[in-house]
Amino acid sequence: MAEQTTDRIHVELVTPDKLMLREDVLAVSLPGREGYLGILPGHAPLLTELKPGQLSYTDEAVSHYLFVSGGFAEVQPHRVTVLVEASERPEEIDVERAKRAQQRAEERLRKAGAGESEIDALRAQAALQRAMARLEVAERPKQEQA
């Protein structure tokens, strides 16, 4: 593992089937339940739940963006560990699939409003959040990985 320096954060982003990211970066932003969390080196330790959204990190002068679905993050002063159900880089996102997922979720929410179960509505809301976050990340300028 890289030696800990005071101006870097070691970030590891893991899904059930792959290691998406293992890198020493300058700053990280995470989609926390209560809003985006900006993490700089030396941040106070915390454990937080994540909602579907955008994980971004800054590497030299370049920002990189990834989609992350729900999960958890552990923050230590020079280490951030992120465990999520799914993650994709902008160029890995199938935009048509995300649009179909968005339409299905919106349709289910309309039906839920017409009296279907609350569980179905919550699941559709979560699917809609994932689809919208994927579409947002897919639109990010594609940054070359160092």
Is 13 within 8 Å of 29 (Cβ atoms)? no
Q: Tell which positions 65-84 bind ligand ATP, by CB under 6 A.
A: 69
> In the numeric block, which tokens belong to residue 105?
């979720």
- Cβ-based nearer residue to ligand ATP, 33 or 100: 100
Spell out the SS3 assignment of 24-64.
EECEEEEEECCEEEEECCCCCCEEEEECCEEEEEEECCEEE
The piece of 19-27, 34-42, 75-83, 92-100 that touches ligand ATP (CB under 6 A) is 92-100
Which of 25, 50, 68, 127 lies at the binding interface for ligand ATP (CB under 6 A)? 127
Which amino acid appears at position 145 of this protein?
Answer: Q
Does 129 bind ligand ATP (CB under 6 A)? Our answer is no
Q: Which two tokens stand for residue 117?
A: 């179960």
Regarding 86 and contact with ligand ATP (CB under 6 A), the answer is yes
What type of residue is 33?
Answer: R
Out of 22, 33, 72, 94, the residue judged to bind ligand ATP by CB under 6 A: 94
The yes or no reply on residue 101 touching ligand ATP (CB under 6 A) is yes
Cα torsion 130, 136, 139, 144: sign: negative
Which parts of this chain interact with ligand ATP (CB under 6 A)?
A: 69, 86, 88, 92-94, 97-98, 101, 127, 130, 134
